[in-house]
Amino acid sequence: MLNRLSLLSGFILAAGITTLVLTNPTLEEYGAYAGEQLAAYVTQEYCAQIPAFLNSLIGECQALVQELQPELKALFIRQTRRQNFGIFSLYTTDLSLLNLGPLGGSLPTYRFATLAGAGRFYTYEIVEIRETP
């Protein structure tokens, strides 16, 4: 009886580990997740602050954010380090917008730390990094 229980427990453990390995999100999936999160944040924090009487501008802002979605995804992928532990991954992104235009020099860098596993993402740290001159 004990032998069967040990065998069954081992099988369940192996199946669980295999499932976690197979559902460990890729860097590409992280880029899509992070790009969507950033787009939602920009839409909520910046587009929503446009005065209501400029209704068409609000719509254009939201459309622009959606249009930039592939670029946001690519930006996150380029600026992310992945530590793959098989059953889960840790993603660290230093998102720097310094090269995105003439005003970029005054923009801060943000560090995002995300745990990924079982097909899900949990961003547990967002830190603004300001360089001192």
Residue (of 79, 86, 95) closest to 117 by Cα position? 86
| Dist. CA 73–CA 30, nearest whole Å | 8
Q: What is the mean pLDDT of residues 44-73?
A: 84
pTM of the predicted model, to two decimals? 0.78
With a pLDDT cut of 70, the percent of the chain lying above it is 88
* 122-125 LR contacts (CB < 8 Å, sep 24+): 123/37
| Dist. CA 52–CA 44, nearest whole Å | 14
Q: Check if the beta carbon of residue 66 is closer than 8 Å to that of residue 81.
A: no
Range with lowest mean pLDDT among 8-22, 31-45, 74-88, 99-113: 99-113
